[in-house]
Structure formats: C-alpha cells, structure tokens
A and B are shown apart, each in its own frame.
Chain A
Amino acid sequence: MTPQTLLWPILLPALAAVICFLIPRNMKLLREGIALLASVAVLYLGFALFSVKNLEFRLPWMGNGINFELRLYHFSSFILLGLSGFLFLITLYSTVKMKNDPRVGEYYAYVFLSAALANGAVLADNFVPLVFFWEGLLLTLYGLITIGGKSSNRTAVKAFLISGFCDFCMILGIAILWSITGTLTISQISVQPEGLAVTAFIMMMIGAIGKAGAMPFHTWIPDAAIDAPVTFMAFLPAAFEKLLGIYLLARITLDLFKLEKGSSLSLVLMIIGAATIVFAVMMALIQKDFKRLLSYHAVSQVGYMILGIGTAIPIGIAGGIFHMINHAMYKCGLFLSAGSVEHRTGTTELKKLGGLSKDMPLTAFGFSVCALAISGVWPLNGFVSKEMIFHGALETGYPVFAIAAWVGAIFTFASFLKAGHSVFFGPRTKEVPPVKESPAPVFIPILILAFLCITFGVFNKLPLVNFIQPILEGHVEAGENIDFTAHALSLFNPVAGISILCLLIALCLHFTGWKRGDKKAYLASEPVHKFPVIKQIYDLAEARVFDLYEQGIVFLRCFSLVLFKGIDRPIDFFFEKIVTKTGSAFSGVLQKAHTGHYANYLAWCLGGLLAVAALINLLIK
C-alpha cells in the first residue's frame, strides 16, 4: 500500500459529504444509497488499513515545522476501524430515522464531514493538521445540533462555545509544547511533565477531556439530548467524541508526556475522573427523560475512562482504553434503542412509556444487553473494563478512587433498572398506543452492537490481546510487561466480589424506591432524590448553578456591560446627561452633543498619543 492511501479515509467521506449535500431534495433513495455505499467503502478502508498497521505520509506544507503528516500505527488504526464501524451503523440507522427530515441532505453532509475530520484527527502526526481537523469538528457539531429544530440553536451555541473554549485551550497547550520541544511532529515528542510542560499538559488535557465530555465541560450534552436528533447523540457524543477525546488523552499521557504513577498530574486526572463519575451518575439517576438519562451516563462513563488512564498503571490505562471502545458500543446501542422507541411511540418521557418489551422485543433485547453491559454485569464487556479500572485504581494506593467508581456502579445500575423497568417492562400506559417493532435498518445496528458487547465480554482476551496490548507496548515500565491472561478478571476475586455487591445494592435500592413510589418504575429514584442534603444539591444543579457555561455567561455579560458602560458610554453619559443638564441650566439652550463627543474623542486621541510616546521613550531607555 502506498502512503497516499492514508488520504483516502479523509477524502472519501469528504467527497461523500459534498455529493450528499448536492443531491436534490426529492431524490431520497439515491442519497441514501450513496451514503450507505460510502460508509461501506470507508468501513472497508478501515479494515484494510487495520491490517496494514504501519504507514506514514508526509508532505511539506509551509515550513517552520508545519507539515502535513499522517501516521498509521496500531493505535490509530484501531480507532480508525472503530470510527468507520460506527459511521456505517449510524448511516444504516439514519436511512430510516432521518428519512423525512427536511434537512436530510445537510445531515448526511455533516455526518460524513465529521467522519472525514475525525479520521484526519486520528491519523494526524503533526499538531497543525491535528488542530485543523479537531476544530473542524466544531463546525459539524454545530450544524448537526441545529438540525434538531426550533430550540436547538441555543444548545448549538452552547456546545460550540464550550467545545471552542476547550479547543482553544488545546491550541495553547500545543503551542507551549511546541516552544518546549521545538517540533510539531507528534511522534517525535516525549517530555517529562515538569515546569512549563505541566501547563502544556493541563491545557491539552482540557482539550481532550472537553471533547470527550467530562465535567465541567459536559453541560451541553444533556441539553443536546433533548434538542438534537437522536442519531446525532449516538453519533457524536456517544461514539465519535469519546473515541477521539480518549484517544488524544491516551496519546498525551502515554506518548507526549511521561505521566508517572502517583504524580500530582495523575492525581488531577483521577480526581476529575472520579468527580465526573459520581456527579454525572447522580444527575442521571433522577432524570425523567430517556434520552436525557442516557446523556448523563455518557458523561459519567467518561469519568471511568479518565480515571483509568489517570492511574498511570498499565492495567488501569488498558482498562480505560478498553472502556472507551466498550462504552462507544453500548452507549451508541442505548441511544439507538431510545431512538427506536421514539421512532414508534413519538416520546421518550419515562412516565408515558411502559411495557414495550412485547411490542418491540428486538429493541428491548438490544437495550437490555447494552444496559447490563454499561452497568458492569458479568460476563459482558462493561464488567471486564470496569474491573480493570477498579484494579488500577486500587493499585495506586488511593482506595477513595475505587470507592467513587463503585458508587458510580451502584447508581448506574439503579438508574438503568429504572429506565428499563419504565420503558420496556412493567405495565402498559394509556398514552402510548400499541406499536410495532421498528424496521430492520433500525434494529439491526442495535443488535450488532449488543452482539459485540457480548462478544467483547465473553471473549475478552481477544480484543485485549489483539487491540489493547499493542498500544501499551513500549510504554509499560521496564520489567512490568503486562499480561492480560494472568490478571484475575474472573468472578472469583475480592474486587469482583465488591462489584457484584454493588449491583445487589443497586437492585435493592431500585425495589425499595419502586415500592415506595406506588410501584411506578419511573419514580424509583425518588427516595435518593428526596434524601435531605442531596435534595438541596439536586435543586441547585437543576437551577444550573454548577453549569460553568451559564455562570460564565452571566459573568461575562456583566463584564461586557461594565466595559461598554465604562468606556463607550461615559462619553455619551457625560455629554448627554451631565453637560446637557448643567449646560441647559446655565444657558437654557437645547444642545446637540456631537461637538462634545468630538472633543472627548479628541481628548482620548491626545491622551493616547502621550501614552504611546511615553511608552516608546520609556522602552528606548
């Protein structure tokens, strides 16, 4: 294979995006056909490149170290395969779900453009193209959310701003790193996190975890769950952004900076991870909407990945990366099954749904498998990756992180018991008439994902040895060569015992809540919700007190107002009010203020001149 092949995963989806955008509105079949064909082609490319593993493409661009460099190796080829797989499933699903959307052409264009940019970001081996592709995703993020409809613009702006902030932080981090190492080629960089490099690390980490949606950069995700199309949720926040964000985080901690076990940076990451797990899962527990509940879990699970990678211990890192791919599978499956329910019933409110398992058995099966996987039930994939993270967290010597992860596990299971119980099991409700199972393009992706969840769980050695192990090679501390076959990931060890205990606690919690709430499953979380101190925290959270974005907006608005009033308006105020009033008191003549404005402007300029002159002369000395 020639190095130019590496351009294909970028150019092919981009081309498909343009074609989908240009096809006239009424030629639906043609568009869907081309979209499917393109996604299959990309998937094939993903497989082909996965089998190649090592390829480099370098093109001089504009000097100063800014070159167009792409590099395929085991990690990026693995992510590339994952991305193309999700692209195919989402496209298949969208052929039904997005069929009647008025902006469907635009939708496919954004989806394929996202795929092109994400592939580019994964392959990039130079920071400049990386930033280019990475930031380009902002555009499609914004576009995809706005497809949702009326109130989606507000959410789109919010998502754009938060992601934009994270991306700009990342640029700054990259710039600092560049000034330290003097090169922009990613594969040549490896520094110790000391001094200025710590700042660089934190800035780049913000970029990575912001993309993955960790706290406190998560607040747009639950909003988008309501406003944006559900395929978008399954596509970007659940799958693509997790893969990209965690990929970058892993690259940062493994390759760019030598993160050491027990260092303060490792602690920072673990604290962010643990906090994200606990807070987001608590929020998820009390949600009354299916999609919103899932979206909070999408945040909470990022916490596990960050915690795992943050441990800087081989088993933890491997667990974090494994959890990333597992999470992308089951969360994508969960969103798709929520979409399937929405497709048939027209609602995702837990209160209105119930007993759908008889009408939609395949969706219910897919959902159940994915929900059990995310809750970490043996023998599904979530169990394996979570166990690895628990082990890693315990090995760091800070059991508090393991405890936080276990607390997260309790509430994860409890909230999924609530969701599953409300939607698919329990009695039928009046609001929803009898429905049929969704068409094949909708349930096939769900079933494929559920199948993968089972396979990756039961045969966990397969992905661990083939996919994850090569990534860690060369990064493991000398002598500590990781061997997954040796690690006790079976049911019979104390760590797994605690995990199973957690699941049992969750089960008890659910049933007590269910009984207390008049046997209404959607009220099962109320006892936790109403718990004294916790209730106040929940109230504050619902009022968006913890939402940095909303608080930031309030602050910046005030600041901007102050500046506007402090710099621009004094001119107006002084001359419109003070001068006019005093002046009219003296002379009784009505005045126009523009000569007054002028003098004031002039005074500004003269003052500026003096300042500049003074500054220059000061600096000359």
Chain B
Amino acid sequence: MIFLFIGLPLVVAALLPLIGKISKRVLPDLLANAVFLLLLVLAVTAGRQVISEGPVLKQLNWLGEPVGITVAVDGFSLFMLMAISLLTLCVSLYSIDYMERYGAKANYYALLLMMAAGMNGLVLVTDLFNVYLFLEVAAIASYALVAYGLEHDELEASFKYLMLSVIASAAILISIAVLFGMTGSLGFTAVAAGLRSLDAKFVVGFCAALFIMGFGLKAALIPFHAWLPDAHPSAPAPISAILSGLLIKVSGVYALTRILFNVFGLTPALSQVLMYLGAVSIVVAAFLALGQKDMKRLLAYSSISQVGYVVLGIGIGTPLGIAGGLFHLFNHALAKGLLFLNSGSVQHATGTRNLEEMGGLAKRMPVTAATSLIGSLSIVGVPPLSGFWSKLIIIMALVQAKEWPLALVAILASVLTLWYYLLMQRKAFFGKLDEKWKNVKEAPFWMTASTVILALLSIGVGLFFSAFIKSWIQPASDVLARGIHLALGSWGI
C-alpha cells in the first residue's frame, strides 16, 4: 500500500502526456486530482494502521519475489506524507482554473505528479543515495515548473535556482561519498551503526556541515537563501505555494533532520548550529520582507523567516521543541500555501503583484481578502489560528531549554512578522479602491474553493490543536527524539 505513494504518481505522470493527446483539459484535471485525493485519503486513514505498532520496514514483492526496494514508515514520514498529500491536493484543485491560461495542462500535471512522487519517495526511503535521487526528482520537476510561464524573469529565476541547487546536490553527494567511504554502506541503519563503532567526530562534523549547506540551500536558510526570493515569486502561483509550502521543507528540513537526528544523532554542537542558523534566518529574512513591494516576494522572504522558526524549533532537540517545529512546519505549509494561492488570485484578477498598485480589493474580492487575512494571522501567530500554537510551543521549548536570547529573538521577530503582514493586508485589500480595479471580479470557483479549504483547516487545526498534536505531531516528534536508536532498533532488522 505504501508503495502507492511513489508508484501511483509516477505511473500516472508517465501516462498523462498520452492522455493529453485525447483530452486537453478535463481528463488531466480529473486524473491528477483523483490521484492526490486518493493519496490523502490513504495517508489519513490507512497510514495510521500501518504504524499502529511502531515504525515498520516494508519490502516490495514483485510476483512473489522480494525485490531490492525497501521503504520505512514511521510517525515522521507519515506526517510528512499527509502534509504533502494535503497541500498538493489543494494546489491541484486550484490549478484547475488557474492553469487554464498557461496551456499544456497535461504536461503541467505530469510535472506536479513527478514532484509529488519525488517528495513522497524522499520521506519514505532508508538509504542516503535514495535520498539524493528523490531529491533530484522533485528538484528537476520544480525547475521546469518555476520556468513554466516562459517569460524572461521566470527563466532567469529558474536558471539561478537550478545552478544553486546543483551546488546543493554536489555538497550532499560529497558528504554521502565520504560517509560511504568510511562505513562502506549507504543504508541509514548501517551508516548509523558504522559511525557508532568509529570514533570520527571531526569527519562526522565535516559531513554534517556539508549536509547542512546542501539541505540548507534546499531549505533556503540564510546565508543559503539567495535563489528563493527570485524563484518562488516567478513561478505560477500554485507552484509557488507548493515550493514554499512543501518543497523547501521536504527536501530541506525533512531530509536534514532525518539524517542529523536518526543517522548521526543530534550532538549539542549540531543543535547549536541549527538553532543559530534558524535564528539568523528568522531575523534577517523578516527585515528583508519588510521592505518588499512585490506581494509574492514578500511572501517568499517570509517563507525563509518561517523555515527559520521550524529549524530553530527542531534544533532545540527536546521533545517539546521538535513538536513545536514540526507543528509549525505543518501550519506554515497550510498558511503560506494559502497566501501564495491568494496572491495568484489577485494576480489573476488584476494582473499585478505590486502592492503599491493594489488597494481596496477586499470590496471586490471578499473571499480572497478574508482567507488571506486568516493565512497572515496564522503565520503571525494570533489565536485561535493554528500558527499561534506552534509559535507558542517553540517559544516555550526555547525557554525550557534556557535559551533566553533565542526566545527573545523568536518573540520579537513575531512582532516584525505581524507588522509586514499587516502592511501587506492593508496595501492589498483595505483602504480605497483604485478606479482601475472597479471591474475586478472574485476568483473562479475552484480557486476560491481551495483557499477556503486551507483557511478552514488553519482555523480547525487551531481550535482542535490538542487532538491534532496527539494524533500526528507526537508520533512524528517521538521518531526524531529517539535519535539513532530508531535507525538501529526499529529498522535494523
């Protein structure tokens, strides 16, 4: 069943260009959304059963013969699968209307499915080289999707993204090679066991630095962030949503934490580095966001800042901190996805992303304005929205760990976040309606529908946060908190 998460999108993606020859719109729309819906239902219902008795290792049987394909499912990967399926579903719903003007929908969905397959694969594998491979699957699909509009800016952004991503891949590959040279194997379990029997903390430190740079580039932590403010705004809105909401977290944060926690084991040194990186990202990116005039660029800088919170939370290494970080990862995925989709709706209606030109759009686009207020306030951390809880938990965890300066940074940066989001809201949606937007209409049905779903989820998760934490976050943070014992115990058969 778990193999469906990788196999199904791959197969459907391979078929889509052929189907596109028969039906240009309806079938690709239907098929892609059906796949994402199915995966979401699988993740939410069946996934729980699979891991009801702790992490499991699954090997594929092909015609009764076991094949060398093994995946592992535990609380963390299941949580990520759920997040991925949820956001990709909303994004692909949104794309039904939004991607009309770009054309070639079959190809678009094929790439989207590839990206989903890559991300799903990434969270399921148990082998360093597989991590690298699926990272590349998702990345290549994302390069093409960033440049999907084929305008000059988009191509340039995509090129920049590609070139920096290659550096990330190279760093990751070097690190994998060094680890392979030392331990003679690539599986998480074997590497973890090998590193334990060797006393090689400096080399491990070196590998960790390379991983931090490589995955940090993918996660756009400062100072590895340079590609993101160009790439994310340039992409079509649904793709921006998925890049900011998911890809940087799956290919950056997930991969990094999985390796650092479950393979290397989190040492105080690594924990410190992660926390500093997170804190620097939070503050610098928040200031950078403050000065932006371009709506999507502002959102992109804010993504860097919020990923900083996630890394800061996870970097603390205490169960509470990890839970806060993971919860924030999910909340930010919902809210930032929502905001990027809304920015797409605004662009769809007005044709501009420049905040200075907007104003008073709330009268013309009430649903978009209301949902983006919810999204903004969730990221800012205002109750009863979900972002409030995750930020509170991160701050509490920082205090629990006696990291006073970082707690102060996290709190003061919240005020900054509050500020630039309110500025954005005010400039875009409130105030006087400009004459030229008199005939602007609310976005089409599927676009508003998917934003409403995300907004409702933000509120719902905020109201029932304790149930959500118990059923999703706790199992995931347990996995990380167990550290290398997970890799050695549960997977090491």
Contacts and interface: CB of A to CB of B under 8 A. Distances in A.
A616 B377 CA distance: 36
A131 B287 contact: no
Interface string A172-205: 1001101100000000000000000000000000
A581 B216 CA distance: 34
Contacts of A178: 396, 399-400
B351 interface: no
23 contacts: A62-B465, A62-B470, A64-B396, A131-B383, A136-B383, A139-B383, A157-B426, A165-B415, A171-B395, A171-B411, A560-B287, A564-B288, A564-B291, A601-B160, A602-B163, A605-B213, A605-B224, A607-B223, A613-B205, A615-B269, A615-B276, A619-B273, A620-B202
A598 B163 contact: yes
Contact of A172 (B380, B382, B408): B408
Contacts of A160: 418, 422
Contacts of A613: 205-206, 209-210
Interface string A447-478: 00000000000000000000000000000000
Contacts of B414: 164, 168
B402 interface: yes
B180 interface: no
Nearest to B411: A168
Interface of B: 156, 159-160, 163-164, 167, 171, 201-202, 205-206, 208-210, 212-213, 216-217, 223-224, 226-227, 229, 267-270, 272-273, 276-277, 284, 287-288, 290-291, 320, 377, 380-384, 388, 392, 395-396, 398-400, 402, 404, 407-408, 411-412, 414-416, 418-419, 422-423, 426, 430-432, 465-466, 469-470
A85 B396 CA distance: 36
A23 to B, nearest CB: 17
Top 4 closest pairs, chain A to chain B, by CB? A619-B269, A613-B209, A175-B399, A601-B226
B201 A620 contact: yes
- Pick from A153, A168, A607 the residue with the most CB of B within 10 Å: A168
A563 B156 CA distance: 25
Contact of B388 (A135, A150, A176, A563): A135
Contacts of A176: 399, 404
Contact of A564 (B267, B287, B396, B411): B287
Nearest to A184: B396
A600 B227 CA distance: 11
Given A132-B388, A146-B430, A601-B164, A556 B290 contact: yes
Interface string A584-621: 00000000001001101110110111011101110110
A554 to B, nearest CB: 13
- B210, B269, B396, B399: most-surrounded residue (chain A CB, <10 A): B396
Contacts of A132: 383-384, 388
B382 to A, nearest CB: 6
Contacts of A600: 226
B209 A616 contact: yes
Nearest to A182: B400
Given A563-B288, A568-B288, A128 B392 contact: yes
B238 to A, nearest CB: 26
Interface string A310-329: 00000000000000000000
A598 B205 CA distance: 28
A164 B396 contact: no
A168 B380 CA distance: 11
A561 interface: yes
A133 B383 contact: yes
**Chain B contact residues: helix, strand, loop or mixed:** helix
B164 A602 contact: yes
A604 B412 CA distance: 26
Given A136-B383, A168-B412, A608-B213, 8 more contacts: A68-B466, A139-B382, A139-B383, A165-B415, A178-B399, A594-B160, A604-B223, A613-B209
Given A560-B290, A601-B160, A609 B382 contact: no
A398 interface: no
Contacts of B163: 598, 602
Contacts of B422: 157, 160-161
Contacts of A571: 226
A153 B430 contact: yes
A262 B25 CA distance: 77
Contacts of A561: 291
Residue from B206, B216, B383 whose CB has the most chain A CB atoms within 10 Å: B383
A224 interface: no
Interface in A133-148: 133, 135-136, 138-139, 146
Contact of A135 (B205, B209, B382): B382
A602 B381 CA distance: 34
Contacts of B288: 560, 563-564, 567-568
Given A131-B392, A605-B167, A563 B399 contact: no
Nearest to A164: B418
A612 B273 contact: yes
Given A559-B287, A605-B224, A153 B384 contact: no
